[in-house]
Amino acid sequence: MKVSLTFPGQDKINSFLKEQADADYTYTALEGTRTGDVSGYDNDHNCCIIGSGEYQWEAAKEALHLWTQFPAPWTKILPERASLKVGQTVAVLFRIFGVWWINSARIVYAFDEPNRFGFAYGTLLGHLETGEECFWIERDNTEGVITYHIRAFSKPYYWFVKLAYPMARYYQRQFVLQSLAHMKSVCARTKKQRV
């Protein structure tokens, strides 16, 4: 984890990603978001209906491919358009209290099925918290209704995060609410464009 008073430049991000390339995961329950709750962590699963039909399905897939489920302007994934392949390391940036917090994560698993698409990343040593988060969309076979899901388990990794954990949980909730709203808006725009 690193901090920056201004949005970090490309050199700083490249250096951070190079440091984290071989970093270990900070937890042992790899792929724990596949099955549900993981003991010893705060477990969250949020979902909402975001649309229906093939065009909205493709729009939602594209949004996940581009990592746009991360609410702008206070969150960012670098490198931009990072691949969703297993092993891809990313910098997860959050701007809170006027400071950019630069964290590291790595994709643990990904899936691309006819009616399910998504991926999960896990925290590395350069992250404020420890745990895993999965983002995915699902499509109902009969009616084509599309739902967007965020499932995570997490807890503080550093002592100072433990002290401010209620605040961390508040920002986690804001992230979820804004991510759900954004994915709904992606599909709503697609629907308007098709009319």
Place of tokens 């949005």: 7
Confidence at residue 194, expressed as pLDDT on a 0 to 100 scale? 56
Q: Domain 26-71+105-194 adopts which CATH fold? A: Alpha-D-Glucose-1,6-Bisphosphate; Chain A, domain 4 (3.30.530)
Give 195's pLDDT tier (boundaries 50, 70, 90): very low
- Structure token pair of residue 120: 């999960």
**In the prediction, which pLDDT does 162 show?**
79
Chain segment 72-93, per-residue pLDDT in tens? 999 999 999 999 999 999 999 9
Length of the chain: 195
Residue 122 contacts residue 132 (beta carbons within 8 Å): yes
CA 56 centroid distance within chain: 20
Taking only the tens place, the pLDDT of each residue in 101-121 is 999 999 999 999 999 999 999
- Residue 90: per-residue pLDDT: 97
Percent of the chain clearing pLDDT 90 (strictly above)? 81
**Read out DSSP for 40-88?**
TSEEEEEEEEEEESHHHHHHHHHHHHTTTTSPTTTEEEESTT---STT-
Q: 59 and 81 in contact (C-beta within 8 Å)?
A: no
Closest CA to 104 of 26, 162, 158, 6: 26
Element at 10 (helix H, strand E): helix 10-20
- Bridge-based pairing of strands 116-123 and 129-139 is antiparallel
Q: What is the pLDDT of residues 34-71, one digit of tens each?
A: 988 999 999 999 999 999 999 999 999 999 999 999 99
C-alpha to C-alpha distances, 30 to 18, 134, 194, nearest whole angstrom: 22, 12, 40
All structural domains of the chain with their residue ranges: 26-71+105-194
Note if the pTM is more than 0.85.
yes
